[in-house]
Structure 1
Amino acid sequence: MVATPLDAPTIFTGRPLRGTLLVSHEGMQDHAFDVVQLTLEGDVQAVVRHASGPYCEIRKPLILMSCVKVANEFQRVDVGNPHTLKYQTEFFFNIPDSTTLPSLYGNSIAQRLPPSIRVVKSDFISAATTETHNGSSHASTCDITYKIVARVFLGGRLKCNTTREIILMPVEDIPPPLEPEDFGKEYRLVAATSLRLSWRSRKSVTVIISSVEPQPLIFPSCKEGCESTEVLLHLKTRGLLDGSNERAFVEAQLTDCEVRINLEAVTFFSGHEQKAAISIVEALKSPAIVLKKTRYTPNRTKLRLGKWSKGQEVASGLFEWETTASVTAILPWSFSRLPSFFTTLVARRYAFNVQIMFRHMPGIIAFYKPIKLRIPLQIVHHAVETLPGRSLEEDDLEAPAYVP
C-alpha cells in the first residue's frame, strides 16, 4: 500500500514541490519493495462534440518529470503494530515555468505551463446562468490536470501504485499590454453618446469616453483587502463655443454618473492546435473551437466627476472640454483566481464590460444611451520579490506602462 498523506497544495511554477511518500505493508518481511518511481505528469485533454454527431478528442502531454527512490532511502516509522511495517521518505520536484513540446507546425516550441482547469460546456444552459457558449458544438469538455504518480516495484515487477492530483498555478512577470487590434472588434476603448439639453432644444452635446487597458490584476495583492485595479476614464465633449449654453450645461450638469463594471472571463478550447490567440468572432465561426463566457457579479459605483477643463481648440472659437476619472474595479468573491493564459489548445482571457450612465438632473431632460466600453484585462500570479536595498516603488518603475 502506498499513501501520500499530505493534502495537495496549490503549487506555483518556478517553485519546488515537496512531499512525503509513505509505503506500508502487512507482514514481517522487511522492505517488501526495492524501488519506488515518482513521476509528475501533466496533460491537456479536450473533447469537442459537434451538432452533426462526430466529435474530436485530443490529448497532449504538458510535463513529465521523474525521480526514483530506492529502499535504503526510506526510514521506518513506528506505528505501534508489529504486523504492519511503514516507511517514509521525502521527495521534491523543481516545477519549471515553461516546457518544450513538439508542435504540429514544425519545430518544438517552448510554452508556459497553463494552470489546472476544467471547462465543461453543457448541451442545455439555464436562462438564469451567468455562463454562455457558442452554438457550434455540443456537450464538450476540456481538462488540464497535473498529478504525482507513485509506482512500487519489487524485482522489476510493479506491485502497486497510487495517484494524487495537484493544482498547478503559473507565476510570471507582469506582461506588456495587449494589442487590441489583434483581436478585431472584440474590445471597445472609445464610445460616445449625445445629450439633448431639453425637450424643445434641437441642440445636443456629444460626450466621448475613452479608456486604456489597466494595470494587470496581480495575485498576491501588495495591499490589504480584495484584489483590485483602477480603470481610467477620459471624458471630453466635441467642440463647443466658449461661453455657449452647451458649455455651461457641461460644466453645471455633467458632474454625476453611475459606472457599472462587469468582469467577464472567456475560455477557448479547440480540437486542434492554434498558432496564436484568436478573437471571439473567429472562435464563433469555427466548429472546432468551443467558446465559454463567464460573467461575474458587476460592481456599481456612483461617480462625481472633477471639474471640466478647456482642451484643445478644434476650430476658431470652438473648444473641447475634458475631465478624467479613475474607478476602482474589485474582483468578485466568486472569482476563481485563474490567470490569463494561452496554449495551443486552451486559452483564457478577461475583459471589463463598462457602462457609464449620466444621471438625470432636476428640470433637465436629456436623451441619450448609456456609454459602453469593453476593456481588456490581464490577470497574473506574480512573485513579489524585492531586492535588498530597493523599495517596492523602485520595482514598480520597471513595470510596463499601461496608462499613458
Structure 2
Amino acid sequence: MKIIEINVHSTACIYGARRFAWSSANFFQKEGFMNINFKKNCKLLSGYQKVIEYDNIFEVLEDLEKKYFFYCNSRPPAWIVIDEDIFEAVGIGNGYCKLMPMSKDPHLYRGQTKDYGLCIPAIYRSSSNDEVEYFINRLRSIEFELILKKHPAVIELNNTKILNCRIQVDFLGLAQHYGLSTDCLDITNNFYIAAFFACCKYDKNADRFIPKTDSKEGIIYYISPIIMGDYNNFDIVGLQPFPRSAEQKAFRYKLNKGDDFAKKSFVQKLIFSQTSEGTDYIYRKFDNGNKLFPYDFLKNKVDEIKKTKIFSKKAFLETYERFRFTKPKVYYQNKLKNKKIVFKENTNLCFNSEETKELDKLWKERRGNFFKNIGFRRVRYPD
C-alpha cells in the first residue's frame, strides 16, 4: 500500500470528507460487499425512522458500533486514512483555521438524560422571556471573551500559523463548554461521549457529573452529516488551548430563538431506558467524568463571571453592538442598574500578574502536546 499525506486545507474538506463516507458506502453496496443480514440487525441501517427506541444504553451502543464498523469498512480501493487521535487543521477563510476532531464515522451526536420535548440552547430556556436576562447572558460571554484574549496561550496562537493560517480560538464554543449560557448546543463526533451526557447529570452541589438514577429514559440525538452543510450555524470547536473541548471532541450548532433542534430534518432520536448497570458502565468508562472534564484554571474564572455583578464598560458596548439590541443604550443601562449591575473601566475579573505568570507556566508545559495533536488526513492507494 502507498500512503500519501495530503493537506486538505479548506472548509470544503469537512463536507467533502462526509460526502466521501457516503459515496464509499454506496461503492461497497454496488459491489456486493454489504452484508444484508448485518444491515437488518442494525436499526440505524435498516431504514430511516425519526425516533428509534431501545431497551437500554447497551443496545444503543451496540447499534452504533455496528454502524461505525460499517463505515470503517466501507472504503473503495483508494481511501482517506483517518487518525482519530488527531485534530485536523481546516481553513475557515480570512486567513484562519480551526482544529477539527477526526472520525471515521461521518455522523455527530448529542446526549441528554431526558427528552424535554424541545431541544434548545440554554439562553432560550428561561420561562420569563426576559430581554434583560438575555442581555446579561450575552454580556457574560463577551466579558469571558475579552478576558481570554489576554491569556498567554491565546496570544501565542493568534500569532501562530499552520499552512499560512492562524489558529482561531472559538470564544463562543469555549463559553458554551465552560457553562455560560449561549445560543449554541454542544455536539460531538464520538457516540460514547454523547452516551455519557445521556446517562449522567450535572449535580450543582457536588459540582460534577454523576450517574442518572431518577429518570426513566435517556436520549441520544443521531445527527446526519448533512448538518455540516449549514454553514451559518454549524461550527468546529475541537482542539483549543484549554483541554475540555478537545476531550469532548466538540462541535457546536447555533439556533435562533424559536428553533427546535429535535425537529431538524437531519436529526433522529435514539431513546432508551435508563438502567443502573448502563449508567455505571458509562460513568466508569470516563473515569467518573474526569476524562471529559479535566481540571483547568479557566473553570475558576468562569465561576467568577457567573457570579459577578461588575462588568467592564467595553463588554457592555461590545454586547450592545454585536447582538444589535434595538432599544437605546440607556434603556439597558438603567435596567441593568436596577439589577445592581455596575460597569467599570477595569474589573477584578481580568488576569492579575500572578495569574498571568501561572497561566504562562501552565501553557508552556502543555503547548508541546497541543501541537503534537495537530495532523492531516492521508490517502491510501493499493499497490
TM-score tier by shorter-chain length is under 0.3
Q: Whose strand fraction is larger, Structure 1's or Structure 2's?
A: 1
Q: Which of structures 1 and 2 has the bigger CA Rg?
A: 1
Q: TM-score scaled to structure 1, two decimals?
A: 0.19
Greater relative CO (CA pairs within 8 A, separation 6+): 2
Q: TM-score scaled to structure 2, two decimals?
A: 0.20
